[in-house]
Chain A
């Protein structure tokens, strides 16, 4: 900074008014500081793995009936205890399991030699307090490992949220089609306006039938309405069967274990897959926590769910995840409750469906154990749409961050259930989806859709960009679907009649599944028209070489992200002249073997083997002719004389510089690689003890090269000028450039001829002007 005051005052505009290290002010400004963090306080319900008010694990059984469970006599059982004692506890197994040392059970969970079914059998004899105690003994890493062993279906999957801020059916259809293309196995929608549920369900049903098709779909709304929508075939699963860990929270939620058990059976009776929902801190948010730890209450919820006979759970904090994550060890607790769920043999849609932090680092860290361990549904709602369009509130990952997630899969070589999509493919699917929905709406007499609305949706990233349906316009459409009793069969017929045969077949395929009920089994999903569940795709992890391994074809898909650089693409983009025989440029011509100079103010510039032959620009994008002009110009301005020499024996910056210095009459030389890395060296120095170095070529500008040239010249006068600094601002230069650098540098090293003497170069800047003019 040339205008900085010549004082020792730190260069900041803020006056030093407080006795504080300014780093704290910078930390205060980071997104992380929006997050709140809570102190442990069992009396107020803030305890994670253990509260002093948690009961000690215990179980007494007389005559096949539970008489005491976790310190409470049967006569005092609340509604959860009563249901768990009657339907979860297996008396025969309990005798064995409750007598075992909890530490031994914990070790079994992480022992590859103890198969999953053996542990599931043990869980059927364990009380909620004992289950919580056992998983509490595991570290976060052990929990993740045990989860990978105990989860139910072998092949991992994922679920998408598809909603928008306008309840616009066209956008729902287009976004559902994209979600299917991205590989999501389930799609969940909900509304801004409750009365729009039927239109939302219809739109997502049509959109999800486009392309690959065959995903499970649900519309989250009040239970009776959801059951009606399911009955009409406009949804295929439900996960709104919420349960809570205390009696008062349960009753405040307007249900009991028996009402929920009936509802669960009712869904199955209509051929609809169902899972319950529970998660840490729900009771705390509802104000009825009984001073118990989060994990103990969640263990109760999960035992209850197994007792009710539901196949699976949406679990892992869910709406309570941010509150749980505010506590010390909270994220470990979310993993622990998921482990209890799968240990109990439940399908687990493992949360990760709520933005638990404003810090992208905390978000990425939160998902990582699940990506490594796999899960039936890694997110119980990954926001496939933009954050502001998510009617459930932003998910842990959202439309904005899908590519980040795809990269995490590729980084760890793990299957997070998502597949990269291509631009043309997506645009085609979006067009097809809105056209299919418009055809269905017309065919069913729900209105004619203006072309402009369809096109506005096709190209829009989110609802803020569309000129389409408003929530108020959707309501009468939704009411008509319901009032006229339209069903999925009507949709199939409409699609078929209007020539959307593939979509009609996809939807019919899902309806056909309803007859057999195959997807009612644990962890079921539908892929390529076939049901995969814990029955026919059971997780059989028993150590290295077992369990889920991405098939080669799938791994190729996962790698198919955008903008992967190949050598050919890099070389084409860099204007590289292929082969060793790259033509010489007119402005820099070989002129015989280089000799040592005698001029005391001479500065030799030693260029690399491919410099201005195969390679013509630095990684910062500067033409090498401009770079040479800047160096030469700087040397001249500093009172020196420049001479150019090509080295063929090395491409290494230090040795280019040292060899140049040794040829220089002054003993000072500059070494430069074609990619722009430059050193100022002196003949009698150790190779890596240079005078100045530009190591970050992508940030190095022509002014820097000119200044370096001038400094080199001033050294020949015995001065020690201030070194030229190339400022960095912490850019991840390796991430941004090293793929290119490695490929380009390989060209230089490929040209090395170790025994060839340095070659004098005639510098003819006037010829370059001619070249440029042509």
Chain B
């Protein structure tokens, strides 16, 4: 019997303390990632990626450690797992100064991410940017 109530910190490192809580995007357990399996062609690049569930678990751990902003970042990351690389890079580009011509462009992108990918937290971040960019005049094209 532990004297302290169980904490999410007890799950860390997950690979050692709670390996059953994470798996590859293709549903394989950590223990399936062996050299034999790689040589047999059973493991591909698609297996070597983090899942939204693992990121949310790490967010809980970060929050239990008193690191609220880090947890929020992991949650935004969980939002982005399913977003294609090109769309992430394009959104990053759009957030750079002078790329979007007006707030609408950013708000449209936020809406798209929320609607198609459920990326609520990322969408909120982009909406916040739209408001500040408008106030600070960042929609001016840079040459």
Contacts and interface: CB of A to CB of B under 8 A. Distances in A.
Given A231-B85, A270-B50, A258 B70 contact: no
A268 B35 contact: no
Interface residues of B, number: 66
Interface stretch (A31-39, A314-322, A518-526, A614-622): A518-526
A258 B128 contact: yes
Interface stretch (A20-28, A528-536, A572-580, A761-769): A528-536
A513 B22 CA distance: 11
Contact of B67 (A488, A508, A522): A522
B51 to A, nearest CB: 8
Contacts of B72: 87, 309
A87 B69 contact: yes
Given A268-B55, A271-B49, A262 B78 contact: no
B112 interface: no
A514 B49 contact: yes
Given A224-B89, A269-B77, A520-B55, 20 more contacts: A79-B138, A120-B66, A247-B136, A256-B97, A256-B133, A262-B126, A266-B77, A266-B92, A269-B78, A269-B83, A306-B69, A308-B69, A488-B45, A488-B48, A514-B48, A516-B14, A516-B19, A516-B30, A520-B58, A530-B13
28 contacts: A75-B135, A120-B66, A227-B88, A233-B45, A259-B129, A261-B76, A262-B76, A262-B126, A263-B92, A265-B79, A266-B77, A269-B50, A269-B77, A269-B80, A309-B69, A489-B44, A492-B38, A501-B35, A515-B23, A515-B30, A517-B54, A517-B57, A518-B15, A521-B58, A522-B67, A530-B16, A533-B12, A536-B12
Interface of A: 75, 77-79, 82-83, 86-88, 90, 117, 120-121, 223-224, 227-228, 231-233, 247, 251, 254-256, 258-259, 261-271, 306-311, 345, 487-490, 492-493, 496-497, 501, 504-505, 508, 511-518, 520-522, 530-531, 533-536
B38 A508 contact: yes
B58 A496 contact: no
B110 to A, nearest CB: 11
A247 to B, nearest CB: 7
Nearest to A86: B128
Nearest to B94: A259
B105 interface: no
A258 B129 contact: yes
B54 A516 contact: yes
Nearest to A271: B50
Interface string B107-137: 0000000000000001001101100110110
B65 A534 contact: yes
B13 A531 contact: yes
Given A270-B49, A505-B35, A512-B30, A254 B96 contact: yes
B24 interface: yes
Contacts of A270: 49-50
Interface in B34-74: 34-35, 38-39, 43-45, 47-51, 54-55, 57-58, 61-62, 65-74
B102 interface: no
Nearest to B64: A535
A258 B103 CA distance: 14
A190 to B, nearest CB: 20
Most buried by B among A232, A311, A490: A311
A337 B95 CA distance: 28
B73 A310 contact: yes
B38 A489 contact: yes
B76 to A, nearest CB: 4
B73 A268 contact: yes
B109 to A, nearest CB: 11
Given A266-B80, A515-B23, A496 B74 contact: no
A309 B76 contact: yes
B60 to A, nearest CB: 12
Given A488-B48, A516-B15, A261 B125 contact: yes
Contacts of B44: 489
Given A254-B96, A256-B97, A270-B49, A512 B15 contact: yes
A489 B43 contact: yes
A531 B15 contact: yes
A27 B138 CA distance: 52
Contacts of A254: 96-97
A262 B50 CA distance: 17
Nearest to A488: B48
Contacts of B73: 261, 264-265, 268, 308-311
A664 to B, nearest CB: 80
B116 to A, nearest CB: 16
Nearest to A251: B97
A263 B76 CA distance: 10
Contacts of B126: 258, 262
